[in-house]
Amino acid sequence: MLAMDLLSPYLLHLTIFIFSSILWFIFIFIYKQKPTQPNNLPPGKKGWPILGETLEFSMAGKRGEPEKFINERSKKYMLDVFKTSLLGQDVIVFCGDTGNKFFLSSANKYLKLWFPHSLAKAMSNTGTNAVDFGEVAKKLGRMIPEFLRTNALHQYVPIMDSMARKHLETNWSPYKQVKALPSIKKLTLALACRLFFRVEEPEDLIGIEEPFTELVEGMLSIPINFPGTPYRRALKASKIIHENLFSIIKKRKLELFEGKDASSPDVLTRILLMADENGKAMFRDEEISTCLVALLFVSHDTITSAITSILKYLGENPHVYNKVLKEQMEIANSKRPEEVLNLDDIQRMKYSWCVACESMRLAPPAQGNFREAIADFTYQGFTIPKGWKAYWTVHSTHKNPKYFKDPEKFDPSRFEGDGPAPYTFIPFGAGPHMCQGKEYARLGILTFMHNVVTRFKWQNMIPDEKSVCTVATIPVNGLPIQIQPHNN
């Protein structure tokens, strides 16, 4: 009682402070004078002050039905465009094949790259000097194609194959049961580290693996930087990752100073050697570290999601698994026992890629992308104001019966022949906005499919396991499977 009596005045002050803060936010976000907006905006609603419809959008993904948020609104307005509010921003959502085509092929003069502030802050939380994530992403976008050309990809395939073999031998072969998702995460992170900045030693990955999972899980959560929240954990994880990357950068700089590995084609070495006309380094260490985090994110999480979904659907469809096995065994039998895969082998995996595409149609590894309007423009008679954000999403077409008959059915034959209509299947975007890493992802997916199918058969331990959609689509229980080597 004495303690309560002593605390009572402070509790009253705290209550008054919280109530005053709420009133202040209401004033700022609701009653503060805003610029006049056009009367002919697309239809839609913005939802709650500040939050908008972010919670509805997020909860639809966590229920495993992210397409519901999009479909309910596009059906209500009978249009391929509507307005909403997400992540504290006014957003125009483009839907259907016509919306996808406009956004992904003809909107460059109207739209520019944009990242949610919460994501940019989490990715660039170096703990030292501030980093403009948007500018770093632009520089990275101009540089990365060099590492995704055919000659570079040709070098990647044997490494991907060898690492997949070693991973399965170490992490699958000794066991009868495996939880696929965390196992695949471990492999794809190690693969990205090996190919993009030549980190091969396990001890160099220890400081990255666990915090990277925390970063991915929290960086697109509601951006409340308060102890115990996913976003606070993401910020802390990002700082730890950057600290480990600074050590790697320092070590590589020393190697280059000593004349070692200057000709290495990996991304880190290339960035360190880039200089302006005065010979000054083009990137600060904080920017380099942010580049590496962004690369890990785009090359790790999407491939992890895709491979895990492929394993799930193959486990649920034995007849499809048998066709994949037949195709992959023909390739395996054409090679010597220890001979690694090459690019020509990948080109022969046609049915396997159909299976991968159908898996990505039903469980897209990436959900969409944001842009920002750089000037007012008109779309389908509506005005999109400068500064508003634009969003395209796979969820308006991938499970839409208008584009895919019986859309919930797993049917790889959809991708045989000419395949789906343009701008309806877009897990990697399309047109000028096609993901630059699509071919890298294809190689990583197919090399793993080859190794896992030719070595194991498996059974899903949770039939029809539910998948959830946050940053990517993942099975809610991590896809536990029971495995059996073919030679048993």
Pairing between strand 89-94 and 111-113?
unpaired
33 assigned to some structural domain: no
Residue 141 CA: distances (Å) to CA of 136, 269, 276, 419: 9, 17, 18, 29
337 assigned to some structural domain: yes
73 assigned to some structural domain: yes
Q: What is the pLDDT of residue 107?
A: 60
Q: How far apart are CA 386 and CA 38, in angstroms?
A: 11
Q: Which residues sit opposite 81 in a β-bridge?
A: 94
Q: What is the pLDDT of residue 9?
A: 36
30 assigned to some structural domain: no
Q: How far apart are CA 386 and CA 114, in angstroms?
A: 13
Q: What is the pLDDT of residue 214?
A: 87
Our CA dihedral for 280, 284, 285, 290, rounded to 10 degrees, sits at -140
Q: Tell me which residue has tokens 């959502």.
A: 93
Domain count, the chain: 1
Q: What is the pLDDT of residue 261?
A: 63
Query: At 398, which CATH number?
Result: 1.10.630.10
Q: Tell me which residue has tokens 């992890």.
A: 304
* Residue whose C-alpha is closest to residue 438's, from 331, 345, 356: 356
Q: Which amino acid is at 330?
A: E
Instruction: Tell me 421's DSSP state.
Output: P
Q: How far apart are CA 274 and CA 280, in angstroms?
A: 8
* Residue whose C-alpha is closest to residue 283's, from 145, 136, 119: 136
* Residue whose C-alpha is closest to residue 359's, from 403, 418, 315: 315
Which residues constitute the domain of residue 289? 53-485
Question: Is the alpha carbon torsion for 430, 436, 437, 438 positive or negative?
Answer: positive
Q: How far apart are CA 114 and CA 363, in angstroms?
A: 25
311 assigned to some structural domain: yes
Residue 248 CA: distances (Å) to CA of 156, 254, 275: 21, 10, 20
Q: What is the pLDDT of residue 26?
A: 46
End-to-end CA distance of the chain: 70
14 assigned to some structural domain: no
Q: What is the pLDDT of residue 29?
A: 47
Q: Distance of alpha carbon 342 from its chain centroid, rounded?
A: 26
47 assigned to some structural domain: no
pLDDT (tens digit per residue) in 52-83: 898 899 899 889 899 999 999 988 887 889 99
Q: What is the pLDDT of residue 138?
A: 75
38 assigned to some structural domain: no
Q: Which residues sit opposite 89 in a β-bridge?
A: 86
The reply to whether 435 sits in an annotated binding site is yes
In terms of Cβ atoms closer than 10 Å to its own Cβ (0-12, 13-18, 19+), residue 125 is buried
Question: Is the alpha carbon torsion for 90, 93, 99, 102 positive or negative?
Answer: positive
What is the chain's Cα-based Rg?
Answer: 24
Residue ranges in the chain whose pLDDT is less than 50: 1-33
The tokens of 173 are what? 């072969």
Q: How far apart are CA 472 and CA 76, in angstroms?
A: 27
Helix (H, G, I), strand (E, B), or coil: what is residue 33?
coil
The tokens of 174 are what? 């000794």
Q: Where do the H-state alpha helices sit in 228-284?
A: 230-257, 267-273
Q: What is the pLDDT of residue 28?
A: 46
Q: How far apart are CA 296 and CA 282, in angstroms?
A: 21
Q: Is the pTM of this model over 0.85?
A: yes
